Amino acid sequence: MDKNLGKKCREFSLKVIKLHKQLANIKKETVMSEELLRCGAGAGAELSITKFAMGKNDHIAKVYKALQNCAEAQYWLDLLYETDYITEFEFNDTSKSCDELIQMIIVLIKHLKT
């Protein structure tokens, strides 16, 4: 995995973990925040195992799974924001990280397919 992509994944995962802790402890919201935690941290986890992929197709499939996790994380962020569980700043900050990660993964997929 590219060093910059790995760093971006880790940053996003840490933001999601901190957001989940805040939502669970302070706002007592667990359902949506646990879903966000699962897919948000799952994107980085999925990318981290690509080095053990069983060939090119498996590698691409794992990268796609990371992309799907990011898309799902964005969905949960949208819902948390629209239901006033997270502030506009929290939403914008975390959503921006998610969007940047999505763009980096898309570039990686295009590279892998060539």
Q: Where are the domains of the chain?
A: 3-109
Q: Would you state the pLDDT for residue 114? A: 87
Residue 99 has, within 13 A of its CA and on its CB side, a CA count of 8
Report pLDDT for 2. Answer: 75
What pLDDT score was predicted for residue 1? Answer: 66
Which amino acid appears at position 50 of this protein? T
The CA-atom distances, in angstroms, between 4 and each of 38, 66, 69, 105 are 22, 15, 19, 11
Q: How far is the C-alpha of 109 from the C-alpha of 103, rounded, in Å?
A: 10
| 9 Cβ contact list (under 8 Å, min separation 6) | 1, 43, 44, 47, 48, 66, 101
Q: What is the model's pLDDT at position 9?
A: 94
Q: Which fold has domain 3-109?
A: de novo design (two linked rop proteins) (1.20.1440)
- pLDDT given for residue 93 in this prediction: 97
Mean pLDDT by 10 residues, the chain (114 residues): 87 96 93 96 94 94 97 98 97 97 96 91
